[in-house]
Structures are given as C-alpha cells and as structure tokens.
Amino acid sequence: MEWKLFADLAELAGDRHVSVDADAGDTVGDALDELLSAHPPLADRVLDDDGDLRDHINVLRNGENVFADDGLETVLDGGDELALFPPVSGG
Amino acid sequence: MQLLSLVGPAADSLAERLAPRLDGRVATVERLPNREGGTDTDGVDGAFGLADDGAWVGAGDDRSLTDLLDALAPEYDYALLSGFPEARAPTVVVGDQSTKVRGEVVETVETVDDIDADGLETLTRHADDGEPYITLDTLVEQVKQSPRAERAGAIATFTGRVRAKDGDDDSRTTHLAFEKYAGVAEDRMATISEELTTREGVEEVVMHHRTGVIEDGEDIVFVVVLAGHRTESFRAVEDGINRLKDEVPIFKKETTVDEEFWVHDRQ
C-alpha cells in the first residue's frame, strides 16, 4: 500500500510517496502505524500526547475522508490510494 | 492553453515543424532581436493591420511575455515559444543552449533536421506535460460559450492574488509555492461547481487554481459564475471561493523577505 504525503508531512518523511507493508484486509490504521513507525518525526507531528491522530490531520482513502465513515478501522482493498495531509490552505 | 518552450539556436525552425502536428489553435511566439521601438511611427504605441477576412498583423511597444500569454490564453489551445529560456513551461533544448532554462527540460535534441516523424510526435506530446495556462479571461470566455448563456445576464468573478503586505509592519511576501493533491483537488472543485450550479438562476460555475511558485502581485485562483441575475452570481462566487479554500486539498508555503513557512502552521 502506498501513502501520498503533502506539505510539511512530506518534508518530515523525506518523500511524497511512501510504501508500507499493509495489504487488502488490513485497516487504514494498520497502514498508518506502519508509516509512522518508519518515520518518527512524522509521528511526532501528527500524533498528540496520547498517541491519537491530531484533529486537524486529514486521512483520505481513494479521495474520501475516512472519518466520514469507519475512520481508522476502514478495511483496505487492493489498489487503494491513501493520503495524509495537514489543513488545506489554497487560495 | 498549453505551453511548450523551445530554446537554442534552431528553436524557431523546430516550432515551424511542430505547429502543424498540434490539434487545435496554435500560436507561435518568437523572440525578436532587439528593435528600436515597436512601431515605425512616432507617437504610435500599437499598430495593427486588419483585413476583411479577419487576417491581421500587429506591432507594438511594452509587452512582456506574460502580457502576451495572458492575451493569447483565451483564444489558443497551444502556444509554442521559441527563444524564451525564462518561460515556466516544459522545455525542449535544440542544440547548444548555454543560458539557464527556468522550465523543466523534457527533451534535448542536437539538430532539427535529424528528427523523424516519430520524434516530432514525441515532442508535440510534451506540450501537454505542463499545467494549462489559464487566465480569468479564459474562464469568462468559457462560460460565455455555455448553452445556458442566453438565460444569463450576469458574470461575477473572483481573483485571488499574492498579497505582498498585510499591514505596515508586515514583512514583505516575495512569493508563495502551492502544491495540490492532483486528481482529488480537481474532483473537489468539480463537486463544488456542480453543487453551486444546482441553485436557481446559477447557470455555470468554473474555477482554476494555479500551482507551483507564484510571485508577489501574480494571480493564484479564479472563480467565475454565469447567472441569471447579479444577486445569485455574487452569492455563488463568494460561496465558491470560500468552499474552495475550505475543501480543496491545496497547500501553500509562504516566503517573505525574513522567513519561509507553511501557511497552515500560522492559522
């Protein structure tokens, strides 16, 4: 599974695209744990003191906000596109 | 309008060979050697010749490459630039090019004569590599062509641009750099446009956000609404830019004379 990262999150991870060891049947949370354990500075940025994802961090699966539905429990399908990004600031 | 920049000694002749292979209306822009004044007549700043069939020629003073591209953008599908290494566009280098090229070099060729039909085809495809060159006028012309235009008595537009200073003490912003989540950003903008268009009296909503580096004073984003009457056009253009700023995955890094920061870190 591949994560797309944006803005300062990509800078902290050192790359805009990061492959992680998660497959169909795993959850978005599993894929996030894999990503963050490989990139501690990114974990410090997106997790609060309790280890929960900060409210302003966005997680998208195939372009849709995962928190509109099952959140980090969402089960992955093969070929899903995952994205992690800070608050948007266009315009 | 898509741009393709050609640089190097034989750039003009490559432009001549590529132009007929592009689908749509093509403009070529050549760099002229330095001239004395733009027109031959004292006191005339722009000189135009126009025939009954629409054929025309022009000459003038004081136009930058950006000015010219802004004027061409609503009318042409492609612009082939030859001799402008400063252009922000996919660039083909022909022969020896010693000056620095600002755009991304997508291909380097030795001489124009050696390129076969397949090679020319490959080069023309690079014209679609870059971001489209879209201006406010491009979008205004687009909505005027709408099949719903005969119902519309109003066009409202919003242009967002790079603000150098937010107050007397604010350190000057030199440029902003935008990145977007390609694909998802366009989908979100399309959804906003569709939803606004379902409103009574709103006929068309189009929007475009530029990406990459945008300098102080340059335009960033456009929202254009075609509507029956002014009231619904103003409401829709305001809601359109507000929703774009809230919902579309685009990120900006600001560079001032003092520092550089991600804007979401300061909001």
Other C-beta atoms closer than 10 Å to the C-beta of B242 total 14
Residue recorded with tokens 């135009």: B48
Q: How confident is the model at residue B37 (pLDDT cuts 50, 70, 90)?
A: low
Provide the ipTM.
Answer: 0.95
Q: What is the DSSP letter of A49?
A: T
User: Measured between alpha carbons, how far is B25 from B17 in angstroms, rounded to an integer?
Assistant: 15
User: Measured between alpha carbons, how far is B23 from A23 in angstroms, rounded to an integer?
Assistant: 43
Average pLDDT over residues B100-115: 90
User: Would the pLDDT of A53 be above 80?
Assistant: yes
Domain B2-126 superfamily per CATH? P-loop containing nucleotide triphosphate hydrolases (3.40.50.300)
CB of B261 less than 8 A from some CB of A? no
Which pTM value belongs to this model?
0.90
| Extents of the domains making up chain A | 2-64
Strands of B43-153 (E only): list them. Answer: 46-50, 56-60, 78-82, 91-94, 105-109
Q: How confident is the model at residue B36 (pLDDT cuts 50, 70, 90)?
A: low
Q: Which B residues in the span 144-183 are in contact with A, Cβ-Cβ below 8 Å?
A: 160, 178-181, 183
Average pLDDT over residues B6-25: 94
CB of A12 less than 8 A from some CB of B? no
Nearest CA in chain A to B221: A91
State the pLDDT at residue B42.
Answer: 84
State the pLDDT at residue B88.
Answer: 92
- What pLDDT, in 10s, does the model give residues B176-191? 999 999 999 999 999 9
| Extents of the domains making up chain B | 2-126, 136-266
User: Would the pLDDT of A73 be above 70?
Assistant: yes
Judged by DSSP in three states, A60 sits in strand
Distance to chain A for B253, nearest Cα, Å: 8
Contact between chains at A87 and B244 (C-beta distance less than 8 A): no
Average pLDDT over residues B85-100: 88
For B178, the closest of A4, A63, A90 (CB atoms) is A90
Q: How confident is the prediction for chain A on average, in pLDDT?
A: 96
State the pLDDT at residue B34.
Answer: 79
Judging contacts by C-beta atoms under 8 Å, the chain A residues touching residue B244 are 90-91
Cα dihedral B236, B239, B242, B246, rounded to 10, equals -120
Distance to chain A for B207, nearest Cα, Å: 11
Strands of chain B (E only): list them. Answer: 2-7, 26-30, 46-50, 56-60, 78-82, 91-94, 105-109, 154-161, 173-180, 202-209, 212-215, 219-227, 250-256, 260-262
- What pLDDT, in 10s, does the model give residues B72-81? 999 999 999 9
Cβ contact B214:B151 at 8 Å: no
B149 — phi, psi (to 5°)? -60, -30
- Under 8 Å CB pairs connecting chains A and B tally to 68
Q: How confident is the model at residue B22 (pLDDT cuts 50, 70, 90)?
A: very high
Tell me the one-letter amino acid at A45: R
Residue recorded with tokens 């909505």: B143
CATH code matching the domain that covers B136-266, chosen among 3.60.15.10, 3.90.1170.40, 3.40.50.300, 3.30.499.10? 3.90.1170.40
- What pLDDT, in 10s, does the model give residues B39-74? 778 888 899 999 999 999 998 888 999 999 999 999
Average pLDDT over residues A32-61: 96
What is the fold, at CATH topology level, of the domain defined by A2-64? Ubiquitin-like (UB roll) (3.10.20)
Residue recorded with tokens 């537009």: B157
Write the secondary structure of B198-230 as one string of H (helix), E (strand) and C (coil): CCCCEEEEEEEECCEEEECCCEEEEEEEEECCH
Contact between chains at A87 and B264 (C-beta distance less than 8 A): yes
Average pLDDT over residues B121-147: 95
Contact between chains at B267 and A7 (C-beta distance less than 8 A): no
Average pLDDT over residues B79-91: 95
Cβ contact B228:B156 at 8 Å: no
State the pLDDT at residue B8.
Answer: 92
User: Measured between alpha carbons, how far is B124 from B118 in angstroms, rounded to an integer?
Assistant: 10
Tell me the one-letter amino acid at B248: V
